[in-house]
Amino acid sequence: MSFLSNLFSGGASTLVDSVGKVLDNVITTKGEKMQLDNEMRKSELQFQVDMKKLTNDEQQMILGDISNARQREVQVLNAANASWWTKNTMHVMALGTIVITLALFYVLIFTKGLIDDSKKEIILYILGVLSATLTQIYSYYFGSSAGSAEKAKTISDMMTNPS
């Protein structure tokens, strides 16, 4: 039991120090220490490369998904025997969401006493969900802000690490 209490009460740092001392005893020459240091740096760089590759793969999957959705919409719009409702369902739903959101904003801002105080929090929650949906609708029809977010991150990185 004392091993576990030592481990969780600071014994972990003692364990790390002990392993470091063992490595210092095993690695005796300066060349061996430099070689170990180089191997550690290579492993760290390989890890960074692998993480960047995973990030790029994830971005490619997201862009592929967006592309497939757009291609599907084009196919539906170009289908000769598709009904009016089939071709316009997304547009009607998007327009309906915009109208409902704007109407709810109007009611909350310009009307007094129409909404009971006990229901105001529920209305605000629904308005938050509709606002998020509205953002997605605008991103779909007018383009996503993913490129803008990446550009802002790049500029921020350049400002913090000027090299």
Q: What is the pLDDT of residue 151?
A: 65
Q: Where does the pLDDT of residue 12 fall: very low under 50, low under 70, confident under 90, or very high at 90 and above?
A: low
**Euclidean distance between CA atoms 150 and 16, whole angstroms:** 38
Q: Taking the model in full, what pTM does it have? A: 0.48
* pLDDT tens digits for range 105-137: 888 888 777 777 777 788 888 888 988 998 888
Q: What is the pLDDT of residue 95?
A: 92
Best mean pLDDT range from 15-19, 30-34, 152-156: 30-34
* pLDDT tens digits for range 64-73: 887 888 888 8
Averaged confidence pLDDT in the chain: 78
* pLDDT tens digits for range 55-64: 888 888 888 8
User: Does 84 score more than 60 pLDDT?
Assistant: yes
Rg of the chain over all Cα atoms, to the nearest angstrom: 29
Domain ranges of the chain: 83-147
81 DSSP assignment: T
**CB–CB of 104/130 below 8 Å?**
yes
Q: What is the pLDDT of residue 10?
A: 52
7 DSSP assignment: I
